[in-house]
A and B are shown apart, each in its own frame.
Chain A
Amino acid sequence: MPADHRSGSSILRGVQASDEVEPTEEWRRPSPRLLHVRRLEVGIVTLAAAVAVGIVGALSSEWAGAIAAAVALALGAAAEVFVRRRVHAWSYAERAEDLLVQRGVLFSRLSVVPYGRMQFIDVTAGPVERSFGLATVRLHTAAARSDARIPGLAREEASRLRDRLAQLGESQAAGL
């Protein structure tokens, strides 16, 4: 189970200082296999794009086709770097009364969802995710804009999280 103790994200230092009852939250990361899923997805798209662009280019001349395909592949390789950084940016922490989800590199986001506010929990897995034994857990609140999504959780971790969140949500439920 991939759980790393980061030295308390700077974002929440305030919470820790003012909330001494709680232990330092434990930040967890999605499964390392998520990187493979994302890489595979990027790879498939890149390959498809390279083939398509190559064929279109080859209609005018062979060289143009080769260059276009190479450019597409290079872009795919560049995208791999972004994907890796983005996958590493995902992390979540279960605190006593709320769930924290952190994501994003360029546009970083930290969501705080109190358990009492959860309406329901989704566990979904696409075909690629499923073949790697992963699933995405998503929390829904009454607000349409709150998005707390954790992708790439190992299946047993996903169901553990789902059950725990459901249990916490029930015990702390608050009215609208």
Chain B
Amino acid sequence: MSVDRLEPAVWHRLHPLSPLVRAGRATIGLFIVLAPSILTGRRSSGFAYELAFVAFLVALGCVSWLVTRWRVEDDDLRIETGLIRRQSLRFPLAQVQAIDIVRPGLARIFRVAELRLRMAGSTGATARLAYLHERDAEPLRRRLLALAHTGVEPELTVGREGTAAEDATESVLTSVPTGRLVASILLSDVGFLSMAIFTGLIVGAIAARSVAAAILGGGAAPIIIAGATLFWRRFNQEYHFTLAEAHDGLRLRSGLIALTSETIRPGRVQAVRMVEPFLWRRLGWCRLEVDVAGRQRRKGEGEAQRKQLRAVLPVGSRALADELLERILPEVPRALLPPPRRVLLKSPLRYRFLAWGRADSCVVTSSGRIRRVTSWVPLAKVQSFRRTQGPVQRRLRLASLHLDTAGRSVHATLRDRDVAEADETLADVVLLARAARAPAG
């Protein structure tokens, strides 16, 4: 155990292999981009430029490694980086929303891991330590979390016994079987679409070769590739998903090649969302996602992470989702109010899913045209309220109420309510939110 390497108030460097891993990942990306021309052998000129580019990347990575250092300073994590434009970044640990350990395939080969601290605040920056030695990542994460939690430096757990003991305190809440994961991805919107195209292709090939060729030539190939990529990405990301509850928050672990391990601090959940795609509903399945504070667009974060919310349950039954929901949110409203019948005139497709309900500290809304999306927003987390009314709504004496949160994409919208109800609710909710905020502030 290299506890000395985690000693606070000493400048640390990242793992010496990190430039290699970074360049390696870029190289793989480059290879994928160039794959078609390599396979078809259209480029006889060789790959001198590409090789030079990769060498350049490695050199760049080495320089970046040389000038980057980090340390834990009081309640901040400080990262200094940059050769020409020197940057000294300070991340206050009190604002940490979640800490992730990410291990892409290549990083696993070299036994390194990346630590990502998701911060709150208007910049919504992410502090990244890429890469650390695998065995340092977990203790460091635990220490940072403890620091963030209490502001007090915890006792360093020395040796493997301590580590094992702390890990044992977590209780596994759920895990997702692989078969169900595969089925759920195939039955999702995109999965189903690509499956349909694929089936059509096979049928076409059996019927007549030219039909299949026409489909392939007619732009189906990119869709199939995109579908396969998406399938793979989700499978890779959510394979062997495990959710556990520990003293420092919810722990999410998943991954086939790229392993991710995330910890969400308690009380940092801004909103919870349950998605029930059309085909899943028949099977009684749903997906439960939580939203933490942060901005939508972030530099240097994987595309998948940017778009997708973290699923607390990638796929599972409603009953399981309800059980988890109760663990995450203190009070879940049960009774849902349907909208007035005249909403059928305005949003006929949404009508059957529109509903809302509230408890003293939480509001739930549901909506959606084909898939049902249900959002829970704790009133203590609501940032602002908006009541909006468009021309059609005015005709029908309807109004919508929006509850904005600091989350990335989950917001509660009470769509198309009766005007009187909306006004009354707005007044009530403002007061309830005030009461819910009071103990926190």
Chain B residues in 8 Å Cβ range of A98: 430
Q: Which of A11, A97, A143, A174 contacts B404 (CB 8 A)?
A: A143
Q: Select the stretch in B38-46, B344-352, B420-428 that faces chain A.
A: B420-428
Say yes or no: is A149 at the interface (Cβ < 8 Å to chain B): no
Q: Are B386's CB and A142's CB within 8 A?
A: no
Please report whether the interface of chain B is mostly helix, strand, loop or mixed according to DSSP: mixed
Minimal beta-carbon separation of A152 from chain B (angstroms):
21
- Interface CB pairs A-B, < 8 A, 6: A13-B423, A106-B390, A111-B386, A114-B437, A145-B404, A175-B440
Chain B residues in 8 Å Cβ range of A174: 437, 440-441
User: In the complex, what distance in Å separates the CA atom of A107 from the CA atom of B391?
Assistant: 6
Q: Which of B381, B384, B390, B406 contacts A112 (CB 8 A)?
A: B384
Q: Are B404's CB and A10's CB within 8 A?
A: no
Say yes or no: is B293 at the interface (Cβ < 8 Å to chain A): yes
Say yes or no: is A44 at the interface (Cβ < 8 Å to chain B): no
Known pairs A141-B404, A146-B404; A14 contacts B390 (CB<8 A): no
Say yes or no: is A176 at the interface (Cβ < 8 Å to chain B): yes
Within 8 A of B (CB), among A102-159: 106-114, 116-117, 119-120, 140-148
Known pairs A107-B390, A146-B383, A146-B404; A19 contacts B122 (CB<8 A): no
Say yes or no: is A167 at the interface (Cβ < 8 Å to chain B): no
Say yes or no: is A18 at the interface (Cβ < 8 Å to chain B): yes
CB nearest to A12 among chain B residues: B427
Q: Are A15's CB and B427's CB within 8 A?
A: yes
Q: Are A11's CB and B426's CB within 8 A?
A: yes
Minimal beta-carbon separation of A124 from chain B (angstroms):
17
Q: Are A113's CB and B384's CB within 8 A?
A: yes
User: In the complex, what distance in Å separates the CA atom of A15 from the CA atom of B268?
Assistant: 29
User: In the complex, what distance in Å separates the CA atom of A107 from the CA atom of B388?
Assistant: 7
Within 8 A of A (CB), among B265-303: 268, 270, 293, 295-296
Known pairs A19-B431, A120-B122, A142-B120; A172 contacts B441 (CB<8 A): yes
Minimal beta-carbon separation of A103 from chain B (angstroms):
10
Size of the B side of the interface (Cβ < 8 Å), in residues, is 38
Minimal beta-carbon separation of A76 from chain B (angstroms):
23
Known pairs A109-B388, A141-B404, A143-B406; A117 contacts B427 (CB<8 A): no
Please report whether the interface of chain A is mostly helix, strand, loop or mixed according to DSSP: mixed
Chain A residues in 8 Å Cβ range of B270: 176
Q: Which of A17, A143, A173 contacts B383 (CB 8 A)?
A: A143
How big is the A interface, by class? 35 or more
Chain A residues in 8 Å Cβ range of B423: 10-14
Q: Are B383's CB and A142's CB within 8 A?
A: yes
User: In the complex, what distance in Å separates the CA atom of A174 from the CA atom of B404?
Assistant: 15
Q: Which of B391, B394, B406 contacts A142 (CB 8 A)?
A: B406
User: In the complex, what distance in Å separates the CA atom of A173 from the CA atom of B388?
Assistant: 26
Q: Are B441's CB and A142's CB within 8 A?
A: no
Chain A residues in 8 Å Cβ range of B268: 176
Chain B residues in 8 Å Cβ range of A15: 426-427, 430-431
Say yes or no: is B143 at the interface (Cβ < 8 Å to chain A): no
Say yes or no: is B387 at the interface (Cβ < 8 Å to chain A): yes
Q: Are B431's CB and A143's CB within 8 A?
A: no
Q: Which of B386, B406, B441 contacts A109 (CB 8 A)?
A: B386
CB nearest to A99 among chain B residues: B384
Known pairs A13-B423, A15-B427, A98-B430; A143 contacts B437 (CB<8 A): no
User: In the complex, what distance in Å separates the CA atom of A88 from the CA atom of B4?
Assistant: 67
Minimal beta-carbon separation of A166 from chain B (angstroms):
15
